[in-house]
Homo-oligomer: A and B are copies of this chain.
């Protein structure tokens, strides 16, 4: 199962590298299609899986129904606007002590945590 470089895979990665919008698979598809009109959705989904397996991107499963994607980066927190649904990164250090604290209280083996803030983004505050 040796991986190959293809223009489809590169196109998808390029879209994700050029945005901070945490797009859904469908949004990625629309964007890549501008460069590669005949690309199929199946290919987008397959490559998103492959890219995540290879550690190049992260699948965000914070919403429940739709997956969103971002290029791999240090674990960080997210913000979701309760009105418009947009997701953005929060520039705030990840508090690893939370894991230890929760581990002590529960006896579970905890390796990480995901945190999503909710509220109103700047545009939606008006």
Q: Which residues of A does B touch, CB under 8 Å?
A: 59-67, 77, 79, 82, 90-92, 98-99, 101-103, 105-122, 125
Contacts and interface: CB of A to CB of B under 8 A. Distances in A.
B117 A105 contact: no
Copies in the complex: 2
A114 B116 contact: yes
29 contacts: A61-B62, A61-B65, A64-B66, A65-B67, A77-B102, A79-B102, A79-B110, A90-B102, A90-B106, A91-B105, A91-B106, A92-B101, A92-B102, A99-B117, A102-B117, A107-B122, A108-B119, A108-B121, A109-B120, A109-B121, A110-B117, A110-B118, A110-B119, A112-B119, A113-B115, A113-B116, A114-B118, A115-B115, A115-B116
A126 to B, nearest CB: 11
Given A108-B117, A110-B117, A112-B119, 18 more contacts: A62-B116, A64-B64, A64-B65, A64-B66, A64-B67, A65-B67, A77-B102, A79-B102, A79-B106, A79-B110, A103-B119, A107-B122, A108-B119, A108-B120, A108-B121, A109-B125, A112-B117, A115-B116
